[in-house]
Amino acid sequence: MAFFFNVFSRCEKHVSVLSDSLEELPETDEPVWILGKQYDLQAEKSKLLSDISARLWFTYRRKFSPIGGTGPSSDAGWGCMLRCGQMMLAQALICKHLGRDWGWEKHQEQPEEYQRILKCFLDRKDCCYSIHQMAQMGVGEGKSIGEWFGPNTVAQVLKKLALFDEWNSLAVYVSMDNTVVIEDIKKMCHMCPSDLTHDSSSSSYNGLDWNTDCPGQTSGWKPLLLIVPLRLGINQINPIYADAFKECFKMPQSLGALGGKPNSAYYFIGFLGDELIYLDPHTTQTFVDTEENGTVNDQSFHCQQSPPRMKILNLDPSVALGFFCKEEEDFDNWCGLVQKEILKPQSLQMFELVEKHPAHWPPFIPPTKPEVTTTGAEFIESTNNLFELEEDFEILSI
């Protein structure tokens, strides 16, 4: 524990008072792209800055309950990639429940769905995407609690945790070997959890029918969180990928990218010219819990400072792109954009998009909710239970 305390003491960068006004971006005629939306800096600067501040911002926190009961009570110095993963997932949930055009205003009442999304990420062991759940699920990915995660590890952790989130009911697909398989995604998104058993044999999977009447799914399509982990170079990003990487931020399905520099993660949400715009989790704030009325004071969950930028060629080559497809037509549209903008002939392709499951791969088995026994992670049975209990002001325990 002394080790954790010393690390956190060195790495904490305490937040002072956040600025009430966002600083100016440079004067330029170049457009700015933020998560699929284009802005003219000359005419839409205010709208641009409001859009950036509306994104949920998760940073280091301190003084939460010790992870695992005896572990660290702050993630300063090691939890930055976990926080970036939380931000990407939170953006997917915002798009699902409120839409990409939803905006946030300081001290304004927000929709019930917004508060419910925020509660999913509070630093408590009973919140489905808390730092506690992510750190403990990471143990199954070979990461000790307090150890730094890479983009792919965070993607795998989110995929597993989403299986326990019945309210949002996302299908999370993490690509393998730089390859996105259309057939596998469509099969996964057309299936209900009740269609799948814990039997992981290919025969139990291959006999399933696609279900077009899933509870909570009006279209028969389970909303898709698509994460594409990539290695875009050896020690630094290969410049040949820069344009394709930026194209991803133009897609309406964009959730940005996870990445940064060695042992320092950022959540990239857009670009201006050759600079990436990102949200930085490296600020340590105090743990925030629900108030007596059941709401969360959200002022510290929105960055009200100028968004930092970095040259794209300074990016570490290990990244993960994120996309959200609420409906099947969104995914079909994404596939068309990838074919047109990313998979251009005579260019080094950033990743592959294939129609059929590769014959030399093992059979595709959609992820299912496991029986948790000895993993060490603590789970709530469903997010619905959590919110029902909070409404009654009961004490939660696992």
Considering the domain boundaries, does residue 11 fall inside one?
A: no
pLDDT over 50 at 73, yes or no: yes
pTM for the full predicted model = 0.85
Under the banding of pLDDT at 50, 70 and 90, the label for residue 378 is: very low
Q: Could you read off the pLDDT of 150-181 as tens digits, one per residue?
A: 999 999 999 999 999 999 999 999 999 999 99
pLDDT reading at 389 higher than 80: no
pLDDT tens digits, residue range 240-255? Answer: 999 999 999 999 999 9
Residue 223 has pLDDT above 60, yes or no: yes
At 219 the pLDDT is: 61
Q: What would the mean pLDDT of 328-341 be, rounded to a whole number?
A: 96
Judge whether 80 counts as a catalytic residue: yes
Structure tokens at 368: 């299912």
Closest by CA position to 104, among listed 51, 38, 182: 51
Q: Residue 127: which H helix or E strand, with range?
A: none
Q: Which two tokens stand for residue 334?
A: 């994404």
Q: Does the residue 99 lie in any domain?
A: yes
How remote is the C-alpha of 200 from its chain's centroid? 27
**One-letter amino acid of 337:** L
Residue 92 has pLDDT above 70, yes or no: yes
Task: Classify residue 201: in a domain, yes or no.
Answer: no
For residue 314, pLDDT over 70 is answered with yes
- The pLDDT, as a whole number, for residue 214 is 55
Is 81 a residue whose pLDDT tops 50? yes
219 C-beta neighbours (distance < 10 Å), count: 14
Give residue for tokens 């400072």.
Answer: 305
Catalytic residue among 51, 75, 80, 97: 80
With beta carbons less than 8 A apart as the criterion, state whether 26 and 261 touch.
no
Whether 331 has a pLDDT exceeding 90, the answer reads yes
Portion of the chain with pLDDT greater than 70, in percent: 79
Q: What is the pLDDT averaged over residues 192-215?
A: 42
Q: DSSP letter string over 53-91?
A: HHS----EEESSPPGGGTS-SB-TTT-HHHHHHHHHHHH
- Our count of domains for the chain comes to 1
| Euclidean distance between CA atoms 55 and 119, whole angstroms | 15
Instruction: Out of 2-16, 59-73, 225-239, 362-376, pick the least confident.
Output: 2-16
| Residue 5 binned pLDDT confidence (cut-offs 50, 70, 90) | very low
Range of the domain at 138: 30-191+220-354
pLDDT of residue 360: 93
User: Locate tokens 């080559």: which residue?
Assistant: 317
In a domain, 184, yes or no: yes
Phi, psi of 115 (to 5 degrees): -60, -40
The answer to whether residue 265 is domain-embedded is yes
Residue 363 confidence (pLDDT): 92
Q: What is the pLDDT of residue 27?
A: 78
Alpha helices in 99-253 (DSSP H): 112-119, 131-138, 151-162, 182-189, 202-206, 242-250
Question: Choosing from 280, 303, 325, 330, which is the catalytic residue?
Answer: 280
pLDDT the model gives residue 304? 85
- Torsion sign across C-alpha atoms 319, 261, 117, 247: negative
Average pLDDT on 383-396 reads 43
Asked if residue 25 lies in contact with residue 41, where contact means CB atoms within 8 angstroms, the answer is yes
* pLDDT-derived band at 371, boundaries 50, 70, 90: low
pLDDT at position 210 is 38
β-pairing, 352-354 vs 179-181, is: parallel
Measured CA to CA, the distance from residue 353 to residue 60 in angstroms comes to 36
d(CA 180, CA 73): 38
Considering only residues 205 and 388, tell me which one the structure prediction assigns the higher pLDDT.
388
Contacts of 295 (CB under 8 A, 6+ apart): 115
Query: One of 97, 132, 190, 282 is an active-site residue; which one?
Result: 282
381: pLDDT confidence band, cut at 50, 70 and 90? very low
Beta bridge partners of 173: 226
pLDDT category, 347, cuts 50, 70, 90? confident
* 302 is a catalytic site residue: no
Interatomic CA distance for residues 95 and 93, integer angstroms: 5
Tell me, yes or no, if 280 is annotated catalytic: yes
Confidence band, pLDDT 50/70/90 cuts, at residue 198? very low
